[in-house]
Structure 1
């Protein structure tokens, strides 16, 4: 296929261009900065502003799928791409934006939130058996050089109100304990990732997301931001030197639990790599799906991606593993 990666010189975009090419796709690196763009390994390079919607339509007409890795959350970008004839994938985790995408009626398929979280988290949650509330815990290694947009989003949602299962909570103000493989018992804080809304609909059970850092003491920075959202920008800057000093702490872990036990989990190195891997593995599934808006669990199941995840060094486990009646949208 021909895949265009918007924001291809960013942390995730660059890695995604490599992953997509490894899978045999012809990749066009797209972005505003021609100098930075030229350094991205890709089949072609296109200098284009995301505000040039006419240019986006023309670009999309020459590609099978367009991936937005810019951090720009604008549904008009999705519509311009699909109107041009390409499928559209966005790696955003912002629940309001993903909700906006879900209400579109596009001419081509759209994937809303494909990466580590949302994305792999959706697949793990669907693979987890049981009933009642489901809790998704994410432990991020503070030593990873996260993309600017992703890092900014983590701090910008501090103190925001989220609702799950009829319960209203503030981001980073409520704590929950998780059994995290390799790390033991960890306290994680209420988060606001977009998959909690997607999964509450598809699974018909309350779903909440929780976030913490490794090492554990760094999670306290999120707790302070939850209480004093105005300090979030300062705490973001403070976490930078810590990340430099702890450069080897780049392992992430996702845990899916119900009221009694851990039901599924995954772990690997570098979140940006995991996001790029999951997105690349879903490209062809998205491009061949009927028009509509899809969450990750509506495009694939965990077993569909297991081999590709393993090649990327991502370990996954479910306890127990289940197979559901599910029809591939293609």
Structure 2
């Protein structure tokens, strides 16, 4: 069966296509540009999209399009829809789809939720998640748009209060392997923190920082004046190393770090598509990656991609 990769020539999508093909899986890239896509489809044309599903076993959405109707069409034909989800409102719409949808397939959401489940203790009162991203990596248009889309916006904290993105700084000690120096991370509306808070019945709060202190301070400034984002440079100072730390309030923690977040997201996306095709993941309703997959499941692929995890985590 074929894996249809929406946005298959983008920063993440092209890597997913390459990884699947390297493993002998038939992967077809989809996009509007016939010069770059294997199959030219305008995703706004739902009838054309439905026609493209003929003979397809799994769909991976790496396009950045947040159109829940694409998932409904796919799931309505019992074709699993894998989404590299980020926006909270979009994941809420995906949660309402009837049929097989795998949400939060990437590093955050995705690996971040898996690490929370690794870090949580028996009598936990809460978990903090710190996500560090390399300011100098070329993340792609969708990732940049998502980050700037958070500017000035608010979201609900587990205690019921309203939090503005890129405020309420907190310091975390990232693993030495990440190379991250200690300075404040900022609250950010990553969708899985809401889902995990609901599932675990404890507060899960996510914080974001960049590897550059200057650029992190810049995010805090931009959230007060979002209009300034139009003047930000396309190339940022910083590196390409990312890190995720999940820390239980009792002190237990789990972490992962590597280079190029788009590569890590592609690794997890390609693995998920293969696992669905091969029946190693079986879903019939919207399911979050952290509920279906453990760190042990991903260990071989993460190691091969140069991703380091905390010692002892799921036997890695």
Query: One fold, TM greater than 0.5?
Result: yes
Q: Give ranges in structure 1 of 5+ residues lacking alignment.
A: 38-44, 324-330
Bigger shift: residues 199-208 or 111-120: 199-208
Cα deviations by residue, 1:40-70 (Å, 9 ceiling, x for unpaired): xxxxx11111012122222223111011111
CA distance in 2 between partners of 1:141 and 1:290 (Å): 33
CA distance in 2 between partners of 1:65 and 1:173 (Å): 39
Instruction: Name the CA shift for 1:284/1:298 in 2 (closer, same or farther; >3 Å).
Output: farther
CA distance in 2 between partners of 1:121 and 1:273 (Å): 15
Structure 2 match to 1:8: 8
CA distance in 2 between partners of 1:188 and 1:30 (Å): 36
Runs of 4+ with deviation above 6 angstroms = none
- Residue 105 of structure 1 is aligned with which of 98, 117, 136? 98
Bigger shift: residues 94-103 or 79-88: 79-88
Structure 2 match to 1:266: 256
Q: Give ranges in structure 2 of 5+ residues lacking alignment.
A: none
Structure 1 match to 2:168: 174
**2:245 match: secondary structure:** strand
Instruction: Name the CA shift for 1:258/1:226 in 2 (closer, same or farther; >3 Å).
Output: farther
Instruction: Name the CA shift for 1:23/1:199 in 2 (closer, same or farther; >3 Å).
Output: farther
Structure 2 match to 1:128: 119
Cα deviations by residue, 1:126-158 (Å, 9 ceiling, x for unpaired): 111320121111111111111101111101111
CA distance in 1 between partners of 2:283 and 2:173 (Å): 39
Where do residues 164-243 of structure 1 align in structure 2 (5 Å cutoff)? 164-166=157-159, 167-182=161-176, 183-234=180-231, 237-238=232-233, 240-243=234-237
Cα deviations by residue, 1:243-299 (Å, 9 ceiling, x for unpaired): 5xx4xx100011111335360110000000000001111113344313100111122
**1:282 match: secondary structure:** helix
* Alpha carbons 2:120, 2:248 under 8 Å: kept: no
Task: Give the number of aligned pairs.
Answer: 306
CA distance in 2 between partners of 1:22 and 1:207 (Å): 37
Where do residues 11-30 of structure 1 align in structure 2 (5 Å cutoff)? 11-30=11-30
* Alpha carbons 1:129, 1:321 under 8 Å: kept: no
CA distance in 1 between partners of 2:157 and 2:111 (Å): 20
Bigger shift: residues 18-27 or 170-179: 18-27
TM-score norm. by structure 2 comes to 0.92
CA distance in 2 between partners of 1:262 and 1:17 (Å): 37
